[in-house]
């Protein structure tokens, strides 16, 4: 079902990203005093009354981009406006009508679409009296808002609900399985935006040789053979000592948050360059988040001398904790092997959501312990009494044992790898939690184990 689209437009620094965030009910778009922070179309699914809708933040109209990306930013604004069903035209009530507002209003009027004019930044209630001059823009009366004080947001939601009245409410269309969310992460200029655009089949995010072009985390929905996905393009990370501007900090924060909310991560690296400290840091973040990950080595078309097998060994040596992750060589520019990377990502999502029965799990754990028993600690042999799967995504196994502190880390790693080989989750993170049990009461002993020996 086509979700109605709401595009938030206007000149720079009128609070478009703040309006976007307050309607999305979470901080997605970067909000900063520096003009021109938003470049790409940043989108999120929101609820307006009984309806779901997609809201899209855009860059500021009429601003010269510091990295000579003005034409790209303008193209993204134009696409968002053309595809929108409703336009939220935002102005700054404190500044009155400016020439840039008039320029933006002219573009908005020419589209002949429903427009809601929002006079934002009325942080002092007395400023509401200034809204009377904005009808001169020719798009109707202005709604007065203050995102800082949540003033007028209820009225804005009501206006949006009226504007979307002709769209179906939830329940009138069949419910679908939610899309698989794939975070695409990597250091600067690894090719993340190129990959997102290839998957989306359009120029959805700006691609440039300028490092750091993408600043927000940009959600892009696409569909392949009836299966829905959301690609989350993220800002490229840089070395910590190079993080000088607030926008760099926001980009790093958004990348970590995108990893957390993703179902699967595509970790993009340029196979023509060495693995860097930034790559290692990103790998550690993925391991810490216990996310399934595809290591996608991009620009393979430009690195004909790369030996895939040797590069795999190189990755395992440099990226600790990701030896289970599948590796695929791709070219985001030509599309080489991109379909394969997506198939692997979907398979990893399936693995991460796998469940095994308690009986199967306990028989497997008993066999694993029988092959290699834990070493004695303090003169006593640690025992495993019982195992159960507590969760999926990540797959979480709880082992009830005699003394959790007696189990060495390398033994837990042995059990983890053995369980991966035994069941369906060989290529995804596996969490093992140890819980103390007396053995006589509580959980049953694992098959082949005696509570007391």
Q: Is residue 190 domain-shared with residue 103, that is, in the same domain?
A: no
Is the CB of residue 79 less than 8 Å from the CB of residue 41? Answer: yes
H-helix or E-strand spanning residue 257: helix 246-261
Q: Are strands 180-185 and 218-224 parallel, antiparallel or unpaired?
A: unpaired
Asked if the model's pLDDT at residue 446 lies above 90, the reply is no
**Residue closest to 114 by CA, chosen among 81, 142, 87:** 87
Q: Is residue 346 domain-shared with residue 366, that is, in the same domain?
A: no
In angstroms, the CA 359 to CA 374 distance is: 22
Q: Is residue 256 domain-shared with residue 369, that is, in the same domain?
A: no
Domain-ending residue, one of 334, 352, 370: 352
Q: Classify residue 107: in a domain, yes or no.
A: yes
Cβ count within 10 A of residue 393: 17
DSSP class of residue 410 equals H
In angstroms, the CA 76 to CA 9 distance is: 11
In angstroms, the CA 376 to CA 357 distance is: 30
Q: Is residue 348 domain-shared with residue 209, that is, in the same domain?
A: yes
pTM of the model: 0.61
Q: Classify residue 173: in a domain, yes or no.
A: no
Q: Classify residue 441: in a domain, yes or no.
A: no
DSSP reduced 3-state for 221: strand
DSSP reduced 3-state for 121: coil
Q: Classify residue 342: in a domain, yes or no.
A: yes
Mean pLDDT of all residues in 312-332:
91
H-helix or E-strand spanning residue 196: helix 192-200
Is the CB of residue 236 less than 8 Å from the CB of residue 214? Answer: yes
DSSP reduced 3-state for 389: strand
H-helix or E-strand spanning residue 76: helix 70-83
Domain-ending residue, one of 306, 337, 352: 352
Q: Is residue 94 domain-shared with residue 53, that is, in the same domain?
A: yes
Q: Is residue 291 domain-shared with residue 400, that is, in the same domain?
A: no
Q: Is residue 270 domain-shared with residue 375, that is, in the same domain?
A: no
Residue whose tokens read 């997102």: 196
Sequence-distant (6+) residues with CB within 8 A of 244 are none
Q: What is the pLDDT of residues 248-270, one digit of tens each?
A: 445 567 788 889 889 999 999 99
Q: Classify residue 446: in a domain, yes or no.
A: no
Q: Classify residue 168: in a domain, yes or no.
A: no
Q: Is residue 141 domain-shared with residue 235, that is, in the same domain?
A: no
Residue whose tokens read 């035209």: 89
**Residue closest to 321 by CA, chosen among 291, 364, 365:** 291
Cα 405 versus chain centre, distance: 36
CATH of the domain at 199: 3.40.50.300
Task: Classify the C-alpha dihedral 10-13-17-22 as positive or negative.
Answer: negative
Residue 32's pLDDT band (cuts 50, 70, 90): very low
Asked if the model's pLDDT at residue 309 lies above 50, the reply is yes
Asked if the model's pLDDT at residue 442 lies above 50, the reply is no
Q: Is residue 313 domain-shared with residue 340, that is, in the same domain?
A: yes
CATH of the domain at 364: 3.30.300.20
Q: What is the pLDDT of residues 345-364, one digit of tens each?
A: 998 998 999 888 899 999 99
Domain around 283? 180-352
In angstroms, the CA 410 to CA 165 distance is: 60
Q: Classify residue 171: in a domain, yes or no.
A: no
Q: Is residue 28 domain-shared with residue 86, that is, in the same domain?
A: yes
The pLDDT of residue 51 is: 85
Q: Is residue 13 domain-shared with residue 76, that is, in the same domain?
A: yes
DSSP-derived secondary structure for 280-328: HHHHHHHHHHT--EEEEEE-GGG-TT--HHHHHHHHHHHSTT-TTS-EE
Q: How many domains, the chain? A: 3
How many CA atoms, within 13 angstroms, populate the side-chain half-sphere of residue 248?
A: 12
Q: What is the pLDDT of residues 134-183, one digit of tens each?
A: 999 999 999 999 988 889 999 999 999 999 988 877 544 444 457 899 99
In angstroms, the CA 315 to CA 318 distance is: 5
> Which two structure tokens, joined as six digits, stand for 344?
């692997």
94-103, 203-212, 374-383, 417-426 — which is least confidently predicted?
203-212
Q: Is residue 73 domain-shared with residue 202, that is, in the same domain?
A: no
């Amino acid at each position: 079902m086509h979700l109605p689209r709401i595009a938030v437009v206007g000149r720079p620094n009128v609070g478009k990203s703040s309006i976007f965030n307050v309607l999305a009910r979470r901080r997605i778009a970067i909000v900063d005093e520096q003009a021109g922070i938003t470049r790409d179309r940043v989108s999120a699914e929101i609820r307006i009354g009984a309806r779901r809708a997609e809201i899209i933040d855009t860059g500021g109209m009429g601003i010269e981009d510091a990295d000579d990306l003005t034409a790209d930013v303008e193209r993204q604004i134009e696409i968002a406006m053309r595809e929108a069903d409703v336009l939220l035209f935002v102005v700054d009530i404190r500044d009155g009508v400016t020439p840039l507002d008039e320029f933006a209003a002219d573009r908005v009027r020419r589209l002949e679409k429903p427009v809601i004019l929002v006079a934002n930044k009325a942080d002092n209630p007395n400023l509401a009296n200034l809204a009377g001059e904005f009808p001169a823009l020719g798009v109707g009366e202005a709604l007065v808002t203050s995102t800082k004080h949540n003033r007028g947001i209820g009225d804005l939601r009501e206006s949006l609900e009226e504007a979307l009245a002709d769209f179906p409410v939830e329940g009138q269309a069949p419910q679908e399985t939610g899309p698989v969310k794939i975070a695409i992460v990597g250091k600067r200029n690894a090719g993340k935006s190129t990959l997102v655009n290839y998957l989306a089949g359009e120029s959805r995010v700006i691609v440039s040789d300028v490092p750091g072009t993408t600043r927000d985390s940009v959600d892009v929905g696409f569909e392949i053979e009836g299966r829905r996905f959301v690609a989350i393009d993220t800002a490229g990370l840089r070395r910590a000592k190079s993080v000088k501007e607030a926008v760099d900090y926001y980009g790093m924060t958004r990348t970590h948050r995108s990893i957390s909310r993703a179902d699967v991560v595509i970790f993009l690296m340029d196979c023509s360059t060495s693995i860097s400290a930034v790559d290692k840091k990103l790998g550690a973040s993925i391991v810490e988040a216990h996310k399934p990950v595809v290591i996608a080595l991009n620009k393979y078309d430009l690195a004909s001398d790369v030996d895939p097998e040797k590069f795999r060994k190189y990755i395992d040596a440099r990226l600790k904790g990701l030896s289970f992750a599948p590796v695929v060589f791709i070219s985001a520019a030509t599309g080489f092997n991109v379909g394969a990377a997506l198939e692997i990502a979907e398979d990893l999502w399936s693995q991460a959501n796998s469940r095994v029965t308690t009986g199967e799990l306990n028989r497997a754990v008993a066999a694993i312990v029988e092959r290699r028993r834990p070493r004695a600690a303090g003169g006593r042999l640690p025992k495993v009494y019982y195992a159960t799967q507590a969760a999926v995504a990540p797959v979480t196994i709880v082992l009830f044992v005699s003394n959790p502190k007696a189990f060495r880390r390398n033994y837990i790693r042995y059990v983890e790898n053995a369980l991966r080989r035994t069941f369906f989750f060989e290529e995804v993170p596996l969490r093992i939690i140890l819980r103390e049990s007396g053995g006589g009461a509580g959980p049953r002993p694992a098959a082949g184990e005696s509570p007391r020996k």
